[in-house]
């Protein structure tokens, strides 16, 4: 699919990779609808847009089913249809499932709130967005493409039981959905970033961050443009379907 033909939703579009994807798409001539809980960031992205495309923006909490439904309906009306989704919204609430305090010896556990927050946004919300966007595409009979943002953490990463579970499920459902949606002419692919320079990773513990960067064979942290190259491939290559591409600089977790 040509980028200029896209009428595409980008979740988590106010900052980080979502912001970069939205600006690149508009630059290429796409119609883009961005959603995020960060309304100030949404306005900033709209103001930064250039090129023949247009960025539409509206507040969106993907963990709220009703908001997903209304956002897709609004986006479809604003863009004159919808034929794409970049499922990018995500959060971190890292912590060991069970740990022992080195000073007191107290056993501490990951809380239900930590688990629910990450699963709610990164998996349940992502699934709602796929369901609603694909339903709109199928009803219109237009075909389209979905790009899920997984992670190399889907293979397992210490201190990320919640995040790993969500990202592994998204990669698995990329296969499931590619098979289910083929009848509608809709492809589904996934990108699994490694460590990328975004506001989310900038908030990491510095010691842990430095150790991860040191383990990357290419010798640097990734940037959103590295991931955009992969996203662009999935969007444009009509023969790509049901697979996850790791873009991680060779980092293994």
Q: Is 239 a catalytic residue?
A: no
Residue 139 DSSP class? H
Give yes or no for a contact between 195 and 201, defined as CB atoms under 8 angstroms apart: yes
Q: Please, what's the largest Cα pairwise distance for the chain?
A: 61
Instruction: Evaluate if residue 205 carries a pLDDT over 80.
Output: no
Ranges 109-123, 147-161, 197-211: which has the least confidence? 197-211
What pLDDT is attached to residue 211? 83
Mapped onto helix, strand or coil, the DSSP state of residue 108 is strand
> What separation, in Å, do the N-terminal and C-terminal C-alpha atoms of the chain show?
33
Instruction: Evaluate if residue 238 carries a pLDDT over 90.
Output: yes
What pLDDT is attached to residue 207? 82
Q: In order of start, what are the domains of the chain with their CATH numbers?
A: 3-247 (3.40.50.720)
What is the per-residue pLDDT across 107-146, written as a single tens digit (0 to 9) for each? 999 999 999 999 999 999 999 999 999 999 999 999 999 9
Q: How confident is the model at residue 217 (pLDDT cuts 50, 70, 90)?
A: very high
How far apart are the C-alpha atoms of 86 and 33, rounded to whole Å? 10
Mapped onto helix, strand or coil, the DSSP state of residue 143 is coil
What is the per-residue pLDDT across 33-92, written as a single tens digit (0 to 9) for each? 999 999 999 999 999 999 999 999 999 999 999 999 999 999 999 999 999 999 999 999
Instruction: Evaluate if residue 203 carries a pLDDT over 90.
Output: no
Q: Quote the pTM value.
A: 0.94
Residue 182 DSSP class? G
Query: What average pLDDT is seen over the chain?
Result: 95
Residues in the chain: 253
HSE value, Cβ hemisphere, 13 Å, CA-based, for 91: 18
Q: How confident is the model at residue 251 (pLDDT cuts 50, 70, 90)?
A: confident
From the candidates 163, 177, 181, 228, give the one annotated as an active-site residue: 163
What pLDDT is attached to residue 201? 76
């Amino acid at each position: 699919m040509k980028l200029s033909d896209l009428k595409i939703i980008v979740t988590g579009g106010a900052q980080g990779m979502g912001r970069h994807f939205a600006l690149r798409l508009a630059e290429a001539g796409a119609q883009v609808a961005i959603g995020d809980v960060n309304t100030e960031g949404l306005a900033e992205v709209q103001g930064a847009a250039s090129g023949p495309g247009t960025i539409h923006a509206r507040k969106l909490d993907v963990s709220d089913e009703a908001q997903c439904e209304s956002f897709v309906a609004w986006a479809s009306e604003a863009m004159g249809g919808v034929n794409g989704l970049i499922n990018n919204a995500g959060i971190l609430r890292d912590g060991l499932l069970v740990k022992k305090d080195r000073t007191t010896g107290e056993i501490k556990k990951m809380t239900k709130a930590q688990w629910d927050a990450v699963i709610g946004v990164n998996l349940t919300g992502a699934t709602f967005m796929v369901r609603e966007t694909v339903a709109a595409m199928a009803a219109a009979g237009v075909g389209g493409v979905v790009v899920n943002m997984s992670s190399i953490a889907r293979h397992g990463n210490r201190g990320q039981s919640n995040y790993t579970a969500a990202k592994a499920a998204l990669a698995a459902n990329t296969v499931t959905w590619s098979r289910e949606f083929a009848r509608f002419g809709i492809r589904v692919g996934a990108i699994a970033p490694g460590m990328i320079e975004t506001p989310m990773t900038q908030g990491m513990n510095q010691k842990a961050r430095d150790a991860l960067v040191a383990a990357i064979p290419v010798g640097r942290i990734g940037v959103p443009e590295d991931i955009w190259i992969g996203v662009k491939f999935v969007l444009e290559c009509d023969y790509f379907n049901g697979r996850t591409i790791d873009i991680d600089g060779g980092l293994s977790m």
